[in-house]
Structure 1
């Protein structure tokens, strides 16, 4: 890519630090400029079309260029472009959205608290849990258990919950009081001779051992994604959640279900909580809540969580937490319209209908000489590349991602796992095109590696 002086690429290199990017490589190579989007496609500044196989960042459920969301934003912008929810003030869109989310909740919930990103939602969940423990006169009950390879965000608190090394390295994380238990990835973490049932039993035993070591009276909560997304699309083995949840209940440990990726249809049910029969006390939501047309996230909390917080705020005189943009009227209006589209067009039904074909084509890639494992559920999946002599872990994935991009498909390399999470409006023909491109790209990559 030749970068012209004063082009958007040149100005980007000069002025912007990017997320999840090698800054030195960006200085050298520059960034790809995306100009527009339509349906499952995005277009770069040269007019080249790509299938957005990751729905942006696991998030654009209704596709790009949805006029109903544009119109919803414009209407609200003209009526009330901004207001807050501090100091006992509110506005219609936040009230309507809170009511809608309580009605949609997969398990009984009491209140909704709005934030602006999944990271903020999980960060706020930590603060709420600490606040609640103090309200209950249990100041020692503050520790939180997450999982190796779990992803819960990038604030100081939520990055501590995240169980990925590169979210901790050079940031002096995780914070004290955060612990990570066994990742439920059977192929990677099973011991020799261990079947899935034995692996699940060991995951549960590892959690019990961690609780015993730290003391149940010091542990406030456990956080987990129904399906791990940014850890590599890790679908837990059968019986995993059935083994984990009773342990939490036995030890009076709150359960936070991080539905930031799974929520609003991705797994084939409206919520991953339903897919896996979970019973969380807190659910965190974002991404497909507004199809990321506007930044918004939410926590759903049950009465067990809410009542002590309410009592403590009464004692102190305030719940001293909040964000300027929490429950932003434009974001809430867009989220409401987005949820209406998901329901009216039965996009969850579309996920259910296409999932067998999507997973069949994904599984077929597992037979490729470069692959080691295909994983998926609903319309989310990943193909993991086999280790290869001469390449460190995490080096193969970005190389294949570049070939896929050249061939018109955006995937995401999670280490050496190539993730797919297309918009939920996708058709069977478009799913087929994704995997046709994937197959060709694997063959190209194999030829390149053989020639090296």
Structure 2
């Protein structure tokens, strides 16, 4: 095992180097002034191992990424073979076989006439590409005023300037303002926090969808280009769409000639039991953005998948989409993606998720007997557990309590207990679970047991 190569002196050198040089993402760097940086050195199936040799259940699939789990030598071999043959060539007016084959494959999986695949390095770039395409498309088709974007409250769509502007998390945006203008928020589909609708989930969904029409009317339909929605919203803790929600959204977008962008950076490639989340919920987007599970994390790759309608203006004369990324559609990443999709088909991964999601949900719902657990929600292998101070009133924690609960205790305690997952308060305090799609009941039980133990301990601290 690689972890055995770190004796005490080697481990100390690794820690010192990490503190002195490595700038970690979304990390309070001060947290490691007196604490060790967790260093993950190996993965095997649904588990990861740190530099001390300790094992953890990967309850977040890395970052909603590792669909097939860790240590798949077949994927590593696909990367090595392609790197030896053609390590790199850009898609700027040229192509390579693996990009062509993968584009055809992805288009074949995508719903409707989403046949045009624009590759990126990752999800944020796919979102940027979709917004740029929407704006240029309307300029090319005689509606130059249509440039605004509508998205949902608390929704996360990426960190680049455009994607962050579309994001609905004010605290993430504030340090980088002013951002790209012309983005507007509508309510999300958190039914747990919608008491005015009682038990009528369908009525709530209709109301939430109708707020998109209200926003379009308020801004002027001739100024709105696109609506960006995740099939199941990530930030805030896995909000599924109510029945009929996306049917109504599609109807609204058609009425006002607004593009419906299904942001599936998390939800695509099996996370919800289908290759695309739009297929699970039966709606037809104009654009799908995706990344993460396309390669199961064995190489970086994202994509914007667009309809034939959106490609049409670019098929004539000198018009071009003057946009691209050096590593978009990288040959090695494309080769890995193709092999990843081969394994999906060979091992019936989406069917596996659909057949076991009920058991996953039922296992997590056992936690509802704990005083801290207010709601369990999600779909497929993508669940959020909302934590509350009072179950009867659904009272949430104030900022100080949330800080003490999540970052002061839960994040560290869950990891030390052997579970890597996410405890966060983008919205209300939640624990998110999104394990590799190969997981079975033994993994669900392990998650539930660790969560039960740690949450029970957390109650005493509060």
TM range (shorter): over 0.9
Out of 243, 249, 261, the position equivalent to 1:244 is: 249
Out of 273, 279, 283, the position equivalent to 2:278 is: 273
**Residue correspondence of structure 1 range 84-103 to structure 2 within 5 A:** 84-87=90-93, 89-103=94-108
1:5 CA drift (Å): 8.7
1:319 CA drift (Å): 2.9
1:218 paired to 2:223: yes
1:106 CA drift (Å): 2.3
| 1:405-438 C-alpha deviation (Å, 9 max, x unpaired) | 1110011023110000000111221221111111
- Evaluate the alpha carbon distance shift between residue 46 and residue 361 of structure 1 in structure 2; reply closer, same or farther with a 3 A threshold: same
Aligned residue in 2 for 1:128: 133
RMSD of the alignment, in Å?
1.9
| 1:275-313 C-alpha deviation (Å, 9 max, x unpaired) | 1111101011100000011000011100111112444xx
**Residue correspondence of structure 1 range 198-209 to structure 2 within 5 A:** 198-209=203-214
**Residue correspondence of structure 1 range 98-113 to structure 2 within 5 A:** 98-113=103-118
**Residue correspondence of structure 1 range 22-421 to structure 2 within 5 A:** 22-87=28-93, 89-191=94-196, 193=198, 195-311=200-316, 314-316=317-319, 318-386=320-388, 387-388=396-397, 391-393=400-402, 395-398=404-407, 399-415=409-425, 416-421=429-434
1:379 CA drift (Å): 1.0
1:368 CA drift (Å): 0.8
Q: Give distance in 2, aligned partners of 1:276 and 1:394.
A: 35
- Evaluate the alpha carbon distance shift between residue 102 and residue 205 of structure 1 in structure 2; reply closer, same or farther with a 3 A threshold: closer
Q: Give distance in 2, aligned partners of 1:173 and 1:36.
A: 41
Out of 17, 22, 25, the position equivalent to 1:16 is: 22
SS at match of 1:351: helix
Q: Is the 8 A contact 1:53 1:420 kept in 2?
A: yes
Bigger mean CA deviation after superposition, 260-269 or 190-199: 190-199
Q: Is the 8 A contact 1:401 1:418 kept in 2?
A: no
1:10 CA drift (Å): 1.3
Q: Give distance in 2, aligned partners of 1:433 and 1:394.
A: 26
- Evaluate the alpha carbon distance shift between residue 157 and residue 360 of structure 1 in structure 2; reply closer, same or farther with a 3 A threshold: same
Q: Give distance in 2, aligned partners of 1:346 and 1:362.
A: 24
Aligned residue in 1 for 2:392: none
Q: Is the 8 A contact 2:114 2:307 kept in 1?
A: yes
- Evaluate the alpha carbon distance shift between residue 96 and residue 133 of structure 1 in structure 2; reply closer, same or farther with a 3 A threshold: same
| 1:227-259 C-alpha deviation (Å, 9 max, x unpaired) | 012331111222221222211111111111011
SS at match of 2:174: coil
Q: Give distance in 1, aligned partners of 2:398 and 2:221.
A: 44
1:30 CA drift (Å): 4.3
Question: Number of residues paired by the alignment?
Answer: 444
Q: Is the 8 A contact 1:201 1:243 kept in 2?
A: yes
Q: Give distance in 2, aligned partners of 1:173 and 1:66.
A: 43
Q: Give distance in 1, aligned partners of 2:415 and 2:295.
A: 26
Bigger mean CA deviation after superposition, 31-40 or 107-116: 107-116
- Evaluate the alpha carbon distance shift between residue 117 and residue 395 of structure 1 in structure 2; reply closer, same or farther with a 3 A threshold: farther
Residue segments in structure 2 that go unaligned for 5+ positions in a row: 1-7, 389-395
Q: Give distance in 1, aligned partners of 2:268 and 2:26.
A: 23
- Evaluate the alpha carbon distance shift between residue 193 and residue 61 of structure 1 in structure 2; reply closer, same or farther with a 3 A threshold: closer
Q: Is the 8 A contact 2:209 2:246 kept in 1?
A: no
| 1:91-146 C-alpha deviation (Å, 9 max, x unpaired) | 11101100100111122222110000100000011111111111112211111111
TM-score by length of 2: 0.92
Q: Give distance in 2, aligned partners of 1:425 and 1:250.
A: 41
1:204 CA drift (Å): 2.7
1:446 CA drift (Å): 1.8
1:372 CA drift (Å): 1.0
- Evaluate the alpha carbon distance shift between residue 309 and residue 221 of structure 1 in structure 2; reply closer, same or farther with a 3 A threshold: farther
